[in-house]
Amino acid sequence: MRTRGASGTPARARRARDGAFLTSDAARRLDEDLTAGRACEARSLEALMRAAGRAAATATLDAFGGTDFVVLCGPGNNGGDGLALAREVATRRRDARVSVWYPKGAGTNELYGELVRECRETANVEFVDEDAVLGMMRERATSAAATPRCFVDALFGFSFKGAVRAPFVNVLNALVALTNGDARETFTVSLDIPSGWDVDAGAPDDGDIFVPDLLVSLTAPKQCCATLDDPARGEPRPRVKRMAQTHVVAGTFLTDALCEKYGLEQIPLRVDSDREYVPLDLWRR
């Protein structure tokens, strides 16, 4: 007799589907393989980050037609992806106004420092403080004449753990409120992980959650997204279901050998792909 899960899905099929999503630990190991050149050609972190920023910028510009972008950058490499995206957007859409909130700054990290320099000196990106960002979010709910604005969440990626700490609490709370309230002309994008979500367990169970309009998973989706894409695995909340319509995977780094190593055979983007991102519609094809 075949075993079935509570959802009625055969256990073997569920295992295969699970293989399309990375745990936080597997995501870290995969990124180490990419930089070390194990089962693939070696790429520097800088090359990976710039490619991720480029592909995520393409997906964002394809989805959002406005000219006003606010990029929220966290302290790690997810924030670095955000800086790379900000520069790409400002360079490609010359009429755009691109603002970056980067509260921790680059510190002594040379790569982040170079991305900040490029944003300022080659792309006319403006760096803004917390009050300015909170004002830009608040205005969405109060101004009747709001023009379209895109908020890009590059706060935390697959190394996020525990409860959000300062200096990110107020802005992340405001983002949650923004996407659950009556915000006008607002489009939200998350890079790799919707910030505040547990990378392995998914969205918090209590209170309002931040659900972006577009999620750009980098290289492969992480475990927190599993219920977005496979309704058979559970009963996702209605807004989470809606997000499944706009979930893309970007970054053409996967070789067949890496797919086999991490059980990612179902991910359609490979190293020789001519597309920068693809919609992730794994289960409904």
For residues 164 and 25, what is the distance between their CA atoms, to the nearest angstrom?
Answer: 20
Q: Does 75 bind ligand LP7C6HRI (CB under 6 A)?
A: yes
Piece in contact with ligand LP7C6HRI (CB under 6 A), picked from 90-98, 129-137, 139-147, 191-199:
191-199
- Residue 195 interacts with ligand LP7C6HRI (CB under 6 A): yes or no: no
184, 143 Cβ separation under 8 angstroms? yes
- For the bound state, the minimum distance from the C-beta of residue 133 to ligand LP7C6HRI, rounded and expressed in Å, comes to 16
H or E segment and range at residue 250: strand 247-250
Residues 6+ apart with CB under 8 A from 224: 193, 194, 197, 198, 199, 200, 201, 202, 203
Is residue 158 involved in binding ligand LP7C6HRI (CB under 6 A)?
yes
- CA-to-CA dists, residue 95 to 61, 64, 123, 224, 240, angstroms: 13, 14, 11, 36, 33
Of residues 61 and 172, the one with the C-beta less far from ligand LP7C6HRI: 172
Query: Considering the rule CB under 6 A, would residue 168 count as an interface residue with ligand LP7C6HRI?
Result: yes
CA distances from residue 280 to 103, 129, 134, 214, 246 in whole angstroms, order as listed: 32, 35, 32, 11, 8
Quickly list DSSP for 92-110: H-TT-EEEEE-TT--TT-H
Q: Which of 156, 187, 197, 277 binds ligand LP7C6HRI (CB under 6 A)?
A: 156
Decide: is 157 part of the binding site for ligand LP7C6HRI (CB under 6 A).
yes
* Near ligand LP7C6HRI by CB under 6 A: residue from 8, 107, 162, 238: 162
Q: How far apart are CA 186 and CA 179, in angstroms?
A: 8
CA distance 179 to 120: 29
Least separation in angstroms between residue 157's CB and ligand LP7C6HRI is: 2
Q: Is 22 in the site for ligand LP7C6HRI (CB under 6 A)?
A: no
Count of residues that interact with ligand LP7C6HRI, criterion CB under 6 A: 29
Contact residues for ligand LP7C6HRI, defined by CB under 6 A: 31, 45, 48-49, 52, 74-78, 80-81, 156-165, 168, 191-193, 218-219, 251
